[in-house]
């Protein structure tokens, strides 16, 4: 087995394909993750809110989206929901007759929608872990709500949310593979499969894929532990 | 999207696969929780010789895709085994069957993810409580059992529930090593009939029923365990 | 929340204009030789690649290629994101209710493969459903048969060999890997796929035990699929295929890729 040849840059080897795959995986994951954090905060706020409709909506979102297979959610969002919206937009003349959503962005949003449901649970648990007395104290001294959230709730809640959030980050880098269904985006896992199947060097290319994912994790875990240390200042 | 009757038509085949999915989830979930708690304690250990292997384990399994782990362990071993004594040993019936690989890999994966959550939860138990318990003469093992772990698990419950749901859905990857659980069956039906949504919706109904039951149970458990926090 | 998502989607969305009139073809870069493979340089090779280039040259409007995972082909076709698709689709009666198929460009045979050391002699019996000679369970009932999940061969095993243990693999490559590992004793596979393996070093210990007689369960060839009722596209594809059948160029491609004859 000539591994150097298999990994050559350019048209003869898969080196450049893997480099592109790595970048694409990071890109899909980062954008989806940021969207998911926003969705998670909104969802957690909804779940803990005094408004019954908000609670009910957030509860429905986490229960339904978390339980359905990701493949189904992504196919439904892309092929049914987004096609429906396209038709609607075309009908009202807001866009041209050939308008179509960019499948890449549709894929990223769909992935964020799924991850956001899990993020909601992480955020909810973290919010609940902030001692109630502190919030009461902040209210008692007349701190405005926004300031209270920024200065009291958020810093403490993030400390509790970090392990769950880091799990979700690591899992989204791997789950991003599912978007290939919508348009053969050559992210890392799909590239690994295609290289393996084209050359029949399955074990070699899957080991390489695993190694690259490990590299992503290594950097992530290092960054997370720095963050964790910073956020737990003053705690033991 | 198809009619309800087409969706329902796929249910019997999927229901037959449901026990397999549930079995994989329950076995890997329980073994993973136990192993994950041990790994979490190991990671917090003061001895590096214990902490580092635990850290490496959790890192390797969280850091690589489950699909790749399953493939490398199942097919990778398959490349090594032919022509060895193993083929004629009592182990062969187990090594031949994908089920054992699926249980093993899912358990290790779940343990890696659980250990991370539980570690975080253990660290969030107020240090004062542990100090107080030690001060009144409790042994450190007893502190762990009576003070630290109960609070940590209580704290970690929502995220552990999420992880159990992820595990339920991860069992679908077992179909790559011939274990035809619910999703594997749904995807086979999909390819056979070329109906895309109907088999998946039918599978979604089953998953929903399982997750709904699980989350209700967990909500009750969470409320009981956190009654002191009552809002 | 929905509104935020929606406006975010609109702010980010970009249009993909498709050339007017060109037929949009969905293809998958997932390798399945001798039908398709994409090498590291992005070059498409294999029977379906050559065939599609020729077919599109004969379609007056030309084609626009769209790549996607195999699992995305059918929903893309149904939701009008592409006009026709290719991906080693076997024609079956069940599938005909969902899509329309072109004239088949290849009709696969099915091989029953086992180890050379194994002196099993698969037998043929008359099928209970009157479809002629089929493989008998006798002699192979203690073994395990590997098939590709939801392939026509899997349908065949379910129909005629219900008492033989079968393992379903998501790709044909994986079934071969387990044949080598000894986790299955036999494979029931398309002949054009397995020939390459049997000629390779890894395949030296294995042989075709039986060419399985044709049967309706084994499909009606491999074809392009178009949206149900889209007669205009179907006509164009069929016309191109008919021309290639008439001038012998289709046979030449099959000879080249499947039988290894230039």
| Residue B189, CA atoms < 13 Å, CB-side half-sphere | 24
Q: What per-residue confidence (pLDDT) applies to A91?
A: 82
- Considering only CB atoms, B208 lies closest to which of A67, A202, A217, namely A67
Convert A14-58 into a string of H (helix), E (strand) and C (coil): CHHHHHHHHHHHHHHHHHHHHHHHHHHHHHHHHHCCCCHHHHHHH
Chain-centroid distance, C-alpha C231: 23
Shortest distance between the Cα of A203 and any Cα of chain B, in A, equals 6
First to last CA, chain B: 43
Please, which pLDDT band fits residue A131 given cuts at 50, 70 and 90? confident
Residues with Cβ within 8 Å of C189's Cβ and at least 6 positions away in sequence, in order, are: C110, C111, C113, C147, C148, C153, C172, C175
Residue of C nearest to A80 (CA): C79
For residue B173, pLDDT beyond 70: yes
For residue A45, pLDDT beyond 70: yes
Average pLDDT for chain C: 86
pLDDT tens-digit readout, B98-134: 999 999 999 999 999 999 889 988 888 888 888 899 8
Q: What per-residue confidence (pLDDT) applies to B228?
A: 64
The full length of chain B comes to 231
Contact A85/B at CB under 8 A: no
CB-CB neighbors (< 8 A) of C178 in chain B = 75, 78, 178
Shortest distance between the Cα of C72 and any Cα of chain A, in A, equals 5
Contact C159/B at CB under 8 A: no
Q: Is the pTM of this model over 0.90?
A: no
pLDDT tens-digit readout, B16-67: 999 999 999 999 999 999 999 999 999 988 899 999 999 999 999 988 999 9
Average pLDDT over residues B201-220: 91
Q: What per-residue confidence (pLDDT) applies to C7?
A: 40
Tell me the pLDDT of chain C (262 aa) as tens digits. 444 444 433 333 333 334 467 899 999 988 888 899 888 888 899 999 999 999 999 998 899 998 888 888 998 898 888 999 999 999 999 899 999 999 999 998 999 999 998 888 888 888 888 888 999 988 898 899 999 998 999 999 999 999 999 999 988 999 999 999 889 999 999 988 898 899 888 888 999 999 999 888 898 899 999 999 999 999 999 999 999 999 999 999 998 988 876 6
Q: What per-residue confidence (pLDDT) applies to B224?
A: 82
CA separation for the pair C109, C89 (Å, rounded): 14
Prediction ipTM score: 0.82
Q: What percent of chain C has pLDDT over 90?
A: 52
pLDDT tens-digit readout, C168-195: 998 899 999 999 988 999 999 998 889 8
The DSSP result for chain B, as a single string, is ---HHHHHHHHHHHHHHHHHHHHHHHHHHHHHHHHHHHHHHHHT-S-HHHHHHHHHHHHHHHHS-HHHHHHHHHHHHHHH-TTSGGGGSTTHHHHH-HHHHHHHHHHHHHHHHHHHHHHHHHHTS-HHHHHHHHHTT--HHHHIIIIIHHHHHHHHHHHHHHHHHHHHHHGGGGGGGT---HHHHHHHHHHHH---HHHHHHHHHHHHHHHHHHHHHHHHHHHHHTGGG--
Q: What per-residue confidence (pLDDT) applies to C207?
A: 93
């Amino acid at each position: 087995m000539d591994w150097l040849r298999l990994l050559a840059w350019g048209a003869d080897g898969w080196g450049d394909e893997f480099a592109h795959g790595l970048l694409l995986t990071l890109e899909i994951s980062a954008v989806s993750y940021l969207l998911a954090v926003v969705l998670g905060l909104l969802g957690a706020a909804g779940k803990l809110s005094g408004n019954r409709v908000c609670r009910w909506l957030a509860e429905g979102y986490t229960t339904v989206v978390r339980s359905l297979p990701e493949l189904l959610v992504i196919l439904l969002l892309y092929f049914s929901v987004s096609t429906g919206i396209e038709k609607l937009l075309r009908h009202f003349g807001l866009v041209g007759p050939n308008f179509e959503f960019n499948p890449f962005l549709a894929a990223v949003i769909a992935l964020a929608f799924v991850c956001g449901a899990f993020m909601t649970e992480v955020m909810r648990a973290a919010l609940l872990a902030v001692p109630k007395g502190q919030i009461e104290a902040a209210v008692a001294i007349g701190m405005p709500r926004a300031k209270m959230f920024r200065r009291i709730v958020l810093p403490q809640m993030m400390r509790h949310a970090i392990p769950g959030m880091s799990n979700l980050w690591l899992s989204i880098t791997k789950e991003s593979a599912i978007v290939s269904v919508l348009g053969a985006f050559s992210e890392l896992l799909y590239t690994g499969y295609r290289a393996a199947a084209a050359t029949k060097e399955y074990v070699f290319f899957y080991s390489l894929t695993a190694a690259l994912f490990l590299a992503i994790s290594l950097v992530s875990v290092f960054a997370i532990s720095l963050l964790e240390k910073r956020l737990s200042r003053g705690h033991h | 999207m198809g009619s309800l009757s087409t969706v329902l038509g796929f249910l019997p085949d999927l229901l037959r696969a449901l026990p397999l999915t549930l079995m994989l989830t329950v076995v890997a979930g329980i073994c993973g929780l136990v192993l994950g708690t041990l790994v979490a304690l190991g990671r917090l250990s003061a001895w590096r010789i214990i902490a580092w292997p635990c850290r490496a384990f959790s890192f390797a399994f969280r850091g690589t895709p489950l699909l790749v782990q399953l493939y490398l362990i199942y097919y990778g071993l398959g490349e090594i085994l032919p022509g060895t004594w193993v083929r004629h040993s009592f182990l062969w019936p187990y090594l031949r069957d994908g089920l054992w690989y699926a249980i093993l890999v899912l358990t290790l994966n779940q343990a890696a993810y659980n250990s991370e959550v539980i570690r975080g939860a253990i660290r969030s138990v107020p240090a004062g409580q542990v100090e107080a318990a030690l001060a009144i003469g409790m042994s450190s093992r007893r502190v762990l059992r009576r003070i630290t772990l109960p609070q940590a698990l209580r704290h970690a419950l929502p995220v552990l529930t999420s992880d159990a749901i992820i595990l339920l859905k991860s069992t679908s990857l077992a179909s790559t090593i011939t274990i035809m659980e619910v999703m594997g069956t749904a995807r086979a039906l999909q390819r056979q009939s070329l109906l895309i949504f109907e088999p998946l919706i039918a599978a979604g109904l089953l998953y929903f029923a399982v997750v709904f039951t699980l989350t209700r149970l967990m909500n009750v458990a969470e409320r009981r365990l956190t009654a002191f926090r009552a809002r | 929340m929905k509104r935020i998502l929606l406006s975010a989607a609109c702010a980010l969305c970009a249009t993909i204009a498709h050339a007017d009139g060109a037929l949009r073809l969905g293809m998958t870069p997932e390798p399945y030789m001798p039908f398709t493979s994409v090498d590291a340089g992005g070059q498409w090779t294999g029977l379906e690649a050559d065939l599609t280039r020729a077919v599109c040259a004969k379609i007056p409007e030309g084609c626009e290629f769209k790549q996607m995972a195999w699992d995305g082909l059918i929903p893309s076709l149904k939701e009008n994101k592409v006009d026709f698709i290719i991906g080693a689709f076997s024609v079956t009666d069940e599938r005909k209710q969902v899509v329309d198929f072109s004239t088949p460009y290849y009709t696969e045979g099915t091989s029953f493969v086992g180890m050379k050391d194994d002196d099993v002699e698969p037998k043929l019996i008359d099928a209970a459903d009157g479809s002629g000679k089929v493989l008998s369970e006798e002699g192979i009932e203690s073994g395990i048969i590997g098939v590709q999940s939801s392939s026509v061969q899997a349908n065949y095993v379910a129909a005629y060999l219900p008492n033989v243990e079968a393992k379903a693999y998501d790709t044909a490559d994986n079934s071969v890997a387990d044949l080598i590992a000894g986790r299955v004793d036999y494979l029931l596979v398309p002949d054009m796929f397995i020939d390459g393996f049997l000629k390779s070093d890894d395949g030296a210990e294995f042989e075709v035990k039986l060419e399985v007689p044709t049967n309706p369960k084994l499909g009606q060839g491999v074809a392009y699929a178009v949206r149900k009722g889209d007669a205009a596209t179907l006509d164009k594809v069929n016309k191109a295929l008919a021309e290639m059948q008439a001038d012998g160029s289709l046979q030449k491609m099959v000879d080249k890729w499947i039988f290894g004859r230039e």
